[in-house]
Amino acid sequence: MKNKYLERLYNGVIKENPTLVLMLGMCPTLAVSTRAANGIGMGLSTTAVLILSNLVISLLRKVIPDQVRLPAYIVIVASLVTVTELLMEAYVPAVFAALGIYIPLIVVNCIILGRAEAYANKNTPGLAVMDGLGMGVGFTVALTLAGLVREVLGNGTAFGAQVFPEGWEPIAVFVQPPGAFLVIALFIAILNAANIKTRQRKLVEGGCDGCCAGCTEQCDGKEADA
């Protein structure tokens, strides 16, 4: 990829998709993907926080002392999340109510601290913003896809519109908690199958030992051996 700004976008959406390849931010992915529209709402709010936190952290990367960088990042991210929370409550109360506690929990979303550690604090603001945008869009796409599959199978609708005829009984388990695990497991299995076929990438190996901050590097170096 020639342009390094566009390369960031490609990296975030496809190559290192935060949800499906790095397996970061699984909590909101599993929790809010009951409807496709929820996936978009959650994805966009996380994207907004991610772009701004990457920007601020990149701008301050020479100011923040190395020893206190994590607390500093947490304060920056928490402030941005609070602003997002208040804005959403005021302007899109329906989305805010649907996503509930998962909006304030963007603070502890591994993607945000992970990108701060792995990318924003080492790169220029322009690149950091594109990295945030790429990762955010990758997250949104994964969430919306998961939401769509679950909504169609579990509720018979797509973005609220009926897709199956009246008589069809939806498989309710897909919109209940177990469905979240099943659909994401299926997504990763499909990705693994594609990777095995093309032999391009390593398999997706889940969870970075409970890490969050700074786990991107650990994950990158890890080979799947299960």
Partner 1 sequence: MTTSLILIIISSALINNVVLSQFLGICSFLGVSKQMKASASLGVAVIFVITIASAVASLLYDYVLAPYGMSFMKTIVFILVIAALVQIVEMFLKKKSPAVYKSLGIYLPLITTNCAVLGVALTNVQSGFDFLQSVVAGFGTGVGFTLAIVLLAGIRSRIREEDLPAPLRGAPIVMIAAALMSIAFMGFSGLAL
Q: Which of 27, 87, 97, 163 binds partner 1 (CB under 8 A)?
A: 27
- Neighbouring-strand partners of residue 155: none
| 205, burial (CB in 10 Å: exposed 0-12, middle 13-18, buried 19+) | middle
Rounded to whole angstroms, how far apart are CA atoms 155 and 145? Answer: 15
Two tokens, residue 194: 């594609």
Rounded to whole angstroms, how far apart are CA atoms 204 and 22? Answer: 7
Q: How far is the CB of 143 from partner 1 (least distance, A)?
A: 13
Site for partner 1 in 152-181 (CB under 8 A): 173, 176-181
Q: How far is the CB of 1 from partner 1 (least distance, A)?
A: 27
Q: Provide φ and ψ at 217, rounded to 5°.
A: -65, -45
Contacts of residue 131, defined as CB under 8 A and 6 or more positions apart, other chains included, come to 8, 11, 12, 54, 115, 119, 120, 123
What single-letter amino acid sits at 113? L
* Residue that the structure tokens 């209940």 belong to: 176
Site for partner 1 in 110-129 (CB under 8 A): 110, 113
What single-letter amino acid sits at 126? G
Binding segment toward partner 1, per CB under 8 A, in 7-15, 50-58, 158-166, 182-190? 182-190
Binding segment toward partner 1, per CB under 8 A, in 5-13, 72-80, 127-135, 149-157? 72-80
- Taking residues 78 to 97 in sequence order and writing x for each that binds partner 1 by CB under 8 A, - otherwise, the string is xx-xx--xx-----------
- Taking residues 183 to 212 in sequence order and writing x for each that binds partner 1 by CB under 8 A, - otherwise, the string is -xxx-xxx-xx--x------xxxxxxxxxx
Residues that bind partner 1 (CB under 8 A): 23-24, 26-28, 30-31, 71, 74-75, 78-79, 81-82, 85-86, 101, 104-105, 107-110, 113, 173, 176-182, 184-186, 188-190, 192-193, 196, 203-213, 224, 226
